[in-house]
Structure 1
Amino acid sequence: MIAVVVHTARRELFEEAASTLAGVDLRWVGYDHEDDIRRQVADLLAESHIDGLLLGPVPYTACRDLLPADLSVAVTRSSALDLAMTLYRALAKGWPPTPVSIDTFDNATVDEVARALDLDRDRIACLPYCHEQTSAEIAEFHLDHHRRHDSYVISARSAVVARLHGTVPLLNGMPVPSTIRVQLHELALRIESTRASALRFAAGIFQLSKQDGRTDPDRARVGMTNLLVNTPEFAEAWIENRDRRGVLLFAHKALFERVTHSWVTVPALDEAASTLGIRVAAGFGVGASARNCVLLAERAAERADREASPAGYLIEDSGLIIGPMTPTRIPLEFSYRGHREGLEDLAGSAGLSATTLSRLAALEHSLAGRPISPGDLAESLGITDPSGRRLIRKLSACGLVTVAGSAQNHAKGRPSRLYHLHIDDALKEQT
């Protein structure tokens, strides 16, 4: 499913462009005012599972912080063909091609069209898209140019067209159906390519490090095999003993990508060190055949074993190499620029630093609505488990988390309670 965010006045144009797209369900999100975009996209993401999103620069600016990191997104851009067709419409009306003022199109596109049509570039005023410009400021740019040069206007912004309608000669620089059709097809192909890549055959090798010369290889291999077999994330993988020093796994690339948190960390290395007392190197290979995958995984494991500390590497047959992957997840180190309005006040009322609350807000965004346990929260923030539980209690006391159930990650032991973070909701209430 692909969602299309479009101004209601342009939906018919986009429907015409999408008429040739087969095998895709379209979900339409129409807006009349730019202030409605963010709420409508938030509702869409909460209610529906979508594989891709097509939207213009204005909607993207309004909601880009809401979009999941793994969502395929295409931002429509006005092309040289769109501008040339709009200039042709001006000629059809009997207007001279210049002087003219244009918004949204970038300078390179205007330069290209001016050269192709042999137009005087000095008589074309261009205001490229900038997310900080309001429709009122863009309208004033056009009005000022019209007053000085008696020019007409080409605008790709629906709000600007509405403001200037009836006051100056005006043409809507909307994209032609072919431009939209190309972008829709490219998005659909990108989604299919991502799916196909995730389903590629892959191999993983976990082997006793050559730097660990005191451990019995046979005993280490058996312990490593049992550890991987009892790891829920590897339930769909084929696991077998490879040789005295290692264990071989076969699975789809998507499984390994999920287990390694997008090729960032290999938790099994830390578990091997803490529960088995052994140092392990991990290698992953993605290739055209099982044999090729294993060869690449062997090379990756050898490279990982040369690191100073336990690590993992990925090597693909395309030449891509990712590593070193660490045994534990890297703590979140970033915060919102300027913290966001109201964050410092909220942090003060919760008894936390603004930086800590900012990191929690970033973590909430990365979770995309999924619950989290105190242990996982502690790992994400780089703090101890007791500190994570204390932080959960403090957040619960001020209403910034709610209980979302529990999870039994291991056959033994007590289930972990899960929580939903509500930092963003609290910030919205303050503003």
Structure 2
Amino acid sequence: MPEARNARAAVGPIWRVLGDPLVRGAGAGPLAGQAVAVKDLFDVAGHRVGAGVPAYLAGAAPATAHAYAVGALLAAGADVRGIAQTDEFAYSIAGRNPHSGTPANGAVPGALPGGSSSGPATAVALRQASIGLGTDTGGSIRVPASYQGLWGLRSTHGAVPVGGLVPLAPAFDAVGWLARDGGTLRAAVAATLVAGEQRAAPARYAVAPDAVALADPGVGAAFGAALARLGAAGLLGDLAVVDTGDLDELAEAFRTVQAAQAWRVHGAWVRAHPGALGDDVAARFAWARSVTADAAAAAGETLAAARARLEALLGERTLLLPSASSAAPPVDVAGGELDLVRARTMRLTCLAGITGRPALSVPVLSVPVLSVPGGGGHNGGGGSSPVGLCLVGPRCADLALIDMGRRLAAALDLARTATARTDDGTP
């Protein structure tokens, strides 16, 4: 089957293939008029999947059918605008790709976009698409949403069929979506989830001080201020304080199982294509290759015990925490510093992966930024950077979680408006 001709190559930081549209949707439905940026992991009929790796793209055959999630969005009336870039094999949360470049951060000039759903996130942030379709294994929806001030949902693990999707670590891989507003996000999620498997969830919340303490002081302060406003508005009810356990141990176990599965999925290809990957992702695969079966099994046992404990601890409650440990780092951040940012953020994001729960990033926090090297504009001489408020909800309560997030966001917006009026003397 030859590759579709109704597209133009758009090799660049945001798009790999772009159309006008690339694939037209049903024309009518709840998503009519919406344009989707599809992460380059999903099958789009007539097109190849590159997974952020040119050598992988070169050996791929055009897909004969759409991935489930792509087909569901098209059936709901959305158009596929194009295939958007990803970090190599989705094995990064930075948003860098040594082959196609680094997409801009639509909220913070000069900062990293977040990954691995970097292309879809930037396309949405820059209004080149209204919906981003991506994946989240260890934070690849939540981190770019946090860095770029977007709404982003990681679905309940297994809630969306993953046929026609290049995996990274199947035990944790989940379909996710990005949008500029909660209403659009909800419509996209509702159109994609398997009908009849969603349920309600009570608006009962929990907070884990040990997890919040992993964030930068500015992020922790913004998170605390938001909780205070929500509490004053009466929205948090009987907020529970919970102990998530040793997050260093949990994140390391998560990293180990993720690596073992990534090597199982892609190891043969990586061995057969030396030099095909950039240094950062190549180093991750080199470490993944070294993970022994015994180490993977022990890590799996650690995660199983943690999953049972966290489920018993949280029950029907939704855990509140920052979506990332910091605002978006500058594009030219040194590799060692970026590794530290990744490690601290993964200690937060791994909780949803371990439990399989849905996780929503809501763009309601911000932290001051003195400057971003090379940024200018928004942050050239001050300003702020967005950070997401993350809600980790009960399994199969994805839509209810978005509804909770929209209520919390509305309350925080009202609180900010009231504060602004008080500050400027407006009655």
TM-score above 0.5: no
Larger helix share, 1 or 2: 1
TM-score (norm 2): 0.25
TM-score (norm 1): 0.25
Larger strand share, 1 or 2: 1
